[in-house]
Amino acid sequence: MKFSVIIAAFAAASVTFGIPLVKRAHITDAVILQYALTLEHLEDAFYHQALQNFTEYEFAQDGFDSSFYAQLQSIAADEHAHVEFLTAGLEAAGANATKPCNYSFPYTTPREFVALARVVEGLGVSAYLGAASSIANAQYLTAAGSILTVEARHNAFLNTELFDNPAPTPFDTPLGFSEVYSVAANFITGCPPSNPTLPVTAFPSINVTYANSTTKPLVAGSKVNITTEATTNSSTYAAFLSGLDTELVALPSNGSLTVPKTVAGQVYLLLVNTNNATKINDETVIAGPAILKVEAA
Ligand SMILES: *[C@@H]1O[C@H](CO)[C@@H](O)[C@H](O)[C@H]1NC(C)=O
Ligand SMILES: *[C@@H]1O[C@H](CO)[C@@H](O)[C@H](O)[C@H]1NC(C)=O
Ligand SMILES: *[C@@H]1O[C@H](CO)[C@@H](O)[C@H](O)[C@H]1NC(C)=O
Ligand SMILES: *[C@@H]1O[C@H](CO)[C@@H](O)[C@H](O)[C@H]1NC(C)=O
Ligand SMILES: *[C@@H]1O[C@H](CO)[C@@H](O)[C@H](O)[C@H]1NC(C)=O
Ligand SMILES: *[C@@H]1O[C@H](CO)[C@@H](O)[C@H](O)[C@H]1NC(C)=O
Ligand SMILES: *[C@@H]1O[C@H](CO)[C@@H](O)[C@H](O)[C@H]1NC(C)=O
Ligand SMILES: *[C@@H]1O[C@H](CO)[C@@H](O)[C@H](O)[C@H]1NC(C)=O
């Protein structure tokens, strides 16, 4: 099914500590604001479309009551406010603020939309966390933090609505610019040519399949099969990013991986060219991330 492809179009492991790094050379605060605005436009369109696509009644038929619907409208308004805030900030600084793109989101029912929404919010949290260490101006950092905490509460609310743990791990997961963009690019079908280009790359995707993928959650310690169009070899590693930890597992040629027992929540799976977690960056990533929703074993 389409949805699991995105989530999915998301052993004995050694535990290491490492945060995906990005090359900072071309990442100025203005670029980070354009990057944040690119993501906020995506979220804004995502909620706006869903509220147009489905009525309050249709949400209710899928098990989401009127208080949920009111909350959804509130989340949509937050995302729109983020767009206006970042646009105004960039324009005040004399920049041309990036404009919305065209998007295509893989859901057909309100329930599939909600399941995707909590992934999108989780990605937003990871994006702001990953960008934080590259922001030079303290006031911008505060503004980004102020958006980040709201995205985290959206994510917690949606997790709760889906009968999941609102905060499945004690730490959230920072994700680099290109890693976040690689997920967002799956939803973007075209952008105005006048938009500023971002110094990011969309990596090839990783397809993940696992037993009962449509009916049961993925439990830590269980097996998945992965395929990718990226070229892998005997020195390719699978990196599972969860909280502030990265678990590296050698990728066998048959693509069979065991999800480490220590990961949980919204886990990002990357294929990398290094077995050193501190060296995971745009130069060493070759595919991903795939996003896995993992339940503690
Ligand atoms: C903004 O866009 C206009 C029209 O494309 C262009 O002339 C101008 O140089 C741009 N400004 C900046 C700061 O990039
Ligand atoms: C939701 O709305 C968008 C934009 O109008 C449209 O492209 C998309 O197909 C709609 N999705 C559903 C499931 O109705
Ligand atoms: C976005 O979609 C509209 C309607 O299909 C189309 O006219 C427009 O050219 C698209 N814009 C971009 C930037 O792809
Ligand atoms: C992985 O692929 C192998 C070989 O096709 C198959 O036997 C196995 O059931 C698959 N495992 C999962 C978890 O999908
Ligand atoms: C990944 O899945 C998509 C959609 O099912 C498919 O079109 C693509 O060929 C798959 N890629 C690989 C490398 O398996
Ligand atoms: C594996 O591929 C990478 C490039 O993706 C290359 O740098 C490395 O030397 C290759 N390793 C082996 C053992 O072939
Ligand atoms: C995949 O390869 C690994 C290592 O060679 C092996 O231990 C495992 O049994 C294989 N799994 C499948 C599903 O073929
Ligand atoms: C991992 O890389 C870091 C620098 O990126 C280096 O300091 C460290 O020694 C490396 N660790 C190993 C085990 O090679």
* 183/289 Cα distance (integer angstroms): 7
Is 140 within a domain?
A: yes
Assess whether pLDDT exceeds 80 at residue 213. Answer: no
Specify the residue with its C-alpha closest to ligand 5, atom 5.
5
Is position 290 within any domain? Answer: yes
Give residue 28's pLDDT: 92
pLDDT value, residue 211: 83
Same domain, 48 and 122: yes
Residues 47-73 have a mean pLDDT of 98
Report pLDDT for 297: 80
Instruction: Give the whole-angstrom CA distance, residue 220 versus residue 200.
Output: 31
Question: What pLDDT was estimated at residue 252?
Answer: 97
Compute the average pLDDT of residues 182-207: 96
Q: Look at residue 216 in the predicted model and tell me its pLDDT.
A: 76
Q: Are residues 278 and 183 both part of a single domain?
A: no
CA distance 261 to 89: 43
Average of pLDDT values for 86-91?
96
The rounded Å distance from CA 19 to ligand 3 centre is 37
Q: Would you say 198 and 177 are in contact if contact means Cβ atoms under 8 Å apart? A: yes
What tens digit of pLDDT does each residue of 221-276 get? Answer: 999 999 999 999 999 999 999 999 999 999 999 999 999 999 999 999 999 999 99
Both 52 and 144 in one domain: the answer is yes
Q: Is 191 in the pocket of ligand 3 (CB under 6 A)?
A: yes
Sign of CA dihedral 124, 130, 133, 136: negative
Distance 248 CA to ligand 1 centre (A): 44
**Residue 7's pLDDT is what?**
35
Residue 96: is it exposed, middle or buried by C-beta count within 10 angstroms (0-12/13-18/19+)? exposed
Residue 197 counted as domain residue: no
State CA 83 to chain mean position distance. 18
Tell me the mean pLDDT in the region 83-101. Answer: 96
pLDDT-derived band at 217, boundaries 50, 70, 90 = confident
What is the average pLDDT across 157-174?
95
CA–CA distance, 131 with 128 (Å, rounded to integer) = 5
Tokens of 184: 């967002």
- 88 vs 94: CA distance, rounded Å: 10
Are residue 246 and residue 280 in the same domain, yes or no? yes
pLDDT at residue number 25: 53
- Domain holding 264, by residue range, is 206-295
**Model pTM score:** 0.91
Mean pLDDT of the chain: 90
pLDDT category at 20 given cuts 50, 70, 90 is very low
In short, whether 227's Cβ falls inside 6 Å of ligand 4 is no
Asked whether residue 75 falls in the same domain as residue 162, the answer is: yes
**Domain CATH for 288:** 2.60.40
- Whether residue 112 is predicted with pLDDT greater than 90 in this model: the reply is yes
Whether 85 shows a pLDDT value over 80: the answer reads yes
In 3D, which of 107, 111, 118, 112 has the Cα closest to residue 157?
118
| Residue 195 resides in a domain | no
**Does 201 map to a domain?**
no
Is there a domain that residue 239 lies in? yes
How much distance in Å is there from the Cα of 259 to the middle of ligand 4?
Answer: 14
Domain count, the chain: 2
**Could you tell me the distance, in angstroms and rounded to a whole number, from the CA of residue 6 to the centre of ligand 5?**
11
pLDDT of 209 > 80? The answer is yes
Residue 27: per-residue pLDDT: 87
Domain ends where: 190, 218, 243? 190
Domain match, 33 and 176 both? yes
Does 227 share its domain with 179? no
Pick from 155, 197, 156, 201: nearest CA to 181:
201
